[in-house]
Structure 1
C-alpha cells in the first residue's frame, strides 16, 4: 500500500465524515468521529444558543483531509521509492507467514470498516409503497407509521426484523426489507429468549436434530419475535412433567396446570370462556426455550449463541473488533508522534533536557502500569467515560517505550558525518531531527508498531475484564470474557472470545516478527 493509496483513503474518509454530518447521512466508519463527539461530553461544546458544536468530529475530519492531501501531494512531488526500503518490503513478502498474516489483518480491517452494512438491527433498505428508504444510514430513527404500522407501535422505533417477518408472511404486503448480514446490534439490542423446534416421536419430544429426550422448558408463542408466550411447559425425559403456565395476548397469566409423567393432574383457569378454548387458541408449535445466555442456534440466526444480557455473540465480537481497530488508529499515531519527538530531542539535545525527561521516564516505568491505569480510570465520572478518555489514560504511559529507543538512536547518529555536514550547511535542529535523523530510524519504528498494537489490545481487554474500561454500551472482548467466566455453563462465551482474541494477537505477532526480520540491518546489510 503506497502513499497515494493511503492518501486517497484518508481524504475520502475525512470528506465522507464531514459531508455525512452536514447532510444527515451515516456513512460506515466515517460516522464514528461525530458519534463519539456527540456521546462523550468532553468532545463537544455547548454554544450559547443551546446547540452543540462537535469539535472532535470536525477536527478529526479536518486532520484526515489535510493528512490525505499531504500524502497525495508528496506521492506526486516526491522522488522514486527508496531502493533500500523496496528491498526490505520484498524480504517481508518472502516471509510468507508474516505476509499472509498482514493480508488477513487488512481483510479484517476492511470488514470492520463496513460497520452497519455487516452488523446492525437497522435495515439497510426498506421499500414501502414503491418508495425506498435507508434506515441504517439515517441518523433519525423511523417510526412504525412510516411503514404502515398501526396501533400502539405506530409511534415507536421500527423493529425491522419483525417487519421483515410480517411482510414475508403477508402476500398482500407491498414492501421489502433488506437487513445486514448479521441482523443484530452489537449492544443495545437485547433479544427475547431464543427457541428451537421440538419434534415428537412415539409420544416423546426431542430437540430438532437430537436423539436425546428433551429436558427443560418448552413454550408455544403468540408472537416469536416479540417473545409473547401462550403456554410454557416443563419437560423431563421428553414428556410433560411439572408446572404449566399460560398467558393471554395482553400478557396476563390466566392459566396454570400440573403434569406428572405426561398426564395432567390438575389445572386452574381464570380467564374468559373455558380452559379448552384457551388451549385451542392458535399459536406456534411447541419449542424448546433457551433463556440467556442461549447456546448457538443457527436456525435462529445466532451462530455463536447469546450473552447473558441477550446480545448476539457474533455481533458482539464484531463490535469488539471494531473497538480494537479504532483504538489502534487513534492510539498509535499520537503515542508515536509524542515518543519519537521527545526521544529525538532527548538524544540530540542532551544536557538538562535529556536528564529531566530521562528521570521522568524512570519514575513512570517503575509504576505498576495496569494498577495505575485502573486508579485513573476509576476516578473518571461515568458521563465522561468513552474510548477517547480511556485511550488518553493509556497514552500517559504508552509513549515511554518508543522514546527510549529513539533517544538511543539519536545519541548514536548525531555524531556521524552526515549530521555534521547538515550543521555546516546551516540546517536547524528541527530539520536535522526530522529530515536526517528520523529517516534512519524507520526500521525501529516499523518493527515496534505491531507489538505496540498487541499491547494495546491486551490492555483494553484487561481493563474491560476487570470492569475499569469502556462503558457497557461498548462491545468489548474483556467484558465478554468476564461474562463467560461468570457463566461457566455457557462455554461458547469464553471459547469464542478466547479464539478471536488469540487469533488476532497471533496475526499481529507474526507480522511483527516478519517485519523485524525483514528490517534487521545486521542480517541483511554488510559494513565496510
Structure 2
C-alpha cells in the first residue's frame, strides 16, 4: 500500500522524474547519505551505543551515567574511552582496574581475572569511536595527522576526527539548507503571488519594499546581530531567511502577471471562485516550472553562504561541526592536503546531487517535457 496516494497528474510527474535516470539515482544516493547522517550519533561517537554491565543494559549514547554507575569513584559522566572505565565495564567493576587497568582489561576478555571467574561486561561501540568534537590525545606527532586505520580521513589541527566532522557537518548543512529554503520559498512565493495577482498598490508597495530590502548589507547585519546576541543556529536561520526570501519573488510575480488575464482565470472569477483558490490552485501550479528552475541556485547558494560565513568566522557557533570551518583549516594547513580533498569532494558531491535532483523535479513539472 502506498504511503502517499498521488492523483493522475502527480503520477505522471513521478513517472517523468523516474525516467530521468540521473535525477532518480541522485535522489536515491542523496537520500541514503542524508538518512545515514541523521543517525550520526550511532555512526561516530565517543560513547558506546550499548553497555552491558552486571546483567543490566545501558545506553550512554542517549543517557547520562556517572563513573560510579560502573564501579568508579567520580560522580561526573564516565569517560568511556579511558582505559580505566573500559576495564571497569569489562571486569564488572573490579578495584584492580585502578592499579593495573590494561592488564586487568586484557585478562577480563576471557572472563577470568587472577584465576577467579568474573561477570564479564561488554560495550558496543559505533564504527567511528570519535564524535565531531572529540580530540585524540594519543596521536603521535603534531596535528593535523594523516589518514590511518584509526582516522580514515585523518585529523584536523585540533586532533579531531575529520570523517566524524564531515558526517555531522553534512547533516547540519543539509538541515540548515532545507529549513531556510522551505521557509524563504514560502514567503517569497506568497509575496510574489500577491504582487502579480492583485497588482496596483500591493505590487507598488512590495516593489518599493524590495528595493529598500535589497540595499541592506546582509553580511553586516549578521555580524552585528551575532555581536549582540551571540552565534546560534536558529538566529542564523532567521537572518538567512530574512534576507533570502526575495529570491523567488520576481519570477513568481512575473508568472502571475502573465497568467492573471488568461481565460481560465477570468472564467473562475466569473464563477465566484475565491482569489486564494485561483492563486494557489490554478495559477501557482503553472508557475512552478519557473519557480523550480531557480531552486537549485537557491539551495547551492544557501549551502555556499553558510560555508562562507563559517569560513569567515561569522557562521555557526565554534562548537558546531562545520564544513566551512574544515575549508578554513585546509587553507591554514597546506601541509595537510587530505583536509582540502575532503572539503572539496564533500561540497562537490553534495551540491552535484542536489542540483541533479532539482533539475529532475523541474523537468517533471514541465508539461512540455515528456520522457520517452
Normalization by structure 2: what TM-score?
A: 0.85
Deviates more, 1:115-124 or 1:165-174: 165-174
Going from structure 1 to structure 2, the CA distance change for 1:123 and 1:383 (only over 3 Å counts) comes to farther
CA distance in 2, matches of 1:501, 1:364: 30
Contact 1:193–1:292, Cα closer than 8 Å, also in 2: no
Match of 1:108 in 2: 33
Q: 1:295 aligns with which of 146, 157, 160?
A: 146
Matched, 1:81 2:2: no
Q: Is the 8 A contact 2:288 2:365 kept in 1?
A: no
Equivalence for 2:106: 169
The match for 2:127 is: 181
Question: Which one of 93, 98, 106 corresponds to residue 18 of structure 2?
Answer: 93
Counterpart in 2 of 1:443?
Answer: 289
Distance 1:169 1:330 in 2: 49
**Mapped partners of 1:383, 1:407: distance in 2:** 35
CA distance, structure 2, for counterparts of residue 331 and residue 372 of structure 1: 15
Compute the displacement of 1:144 (Å): 0.8
Structure 1 residue 516: Cα displacement: 3.2
Structure-1 separation of matches of 2:209 and 2:229? 31
| Unmatched segments (≥5 aa) in structure 1 | 6-74, 195-288
SS at match of 1:161: coil
Pick closer, same or farther for the CA change 1:382–1:296 going to 2, 3 Å: farther
Shift of 1:501: 0.9
1:92 and 1:514 in contact (8 A); partners too:
yes
Which structure ranks higher in relative contact order (CA pairs < 8 Å, sequence separation ≥ 6)?
2
* TM-score, with length taken from structure 1: 0.61
Q: Is the CA contact (8 Å cut-off) linking 2:327 and 2:343 kept in structure 1? A: yes
CA shift digits 1:270-304 (9 cap, x unpaired): xxxxxxxxxxxxxxxxxxx2222111121xx2111
Q: Does 1:160 align with 2:80?
A: yes
Structure showing the higher helix proportion among its residues: 2
Shift of 1:329: 2.9
Question: Gapped runs of 5+ residues in structure 2?
Answer: 91-104, 113-117
* Residues 222 and 236, structure 2, Cα contact 8 Å, conserved in 1: no
Offset at residue 186 of structure 1 (A): 0.8
* Structure 1 counterpart of 2:69: 146
SS at match of 1:291: coil
The answer as to 2:304 corresponding to 1:455 is no
> What's 1:476 paired with?
322
> Aligned residue pairs: how many?
345
Q: Which has the higher strand share?
A: 1
Larger Rg belongs to: 1
Residue pair 1:125, 1:178 contacting (<8 A) in 2 also: yes
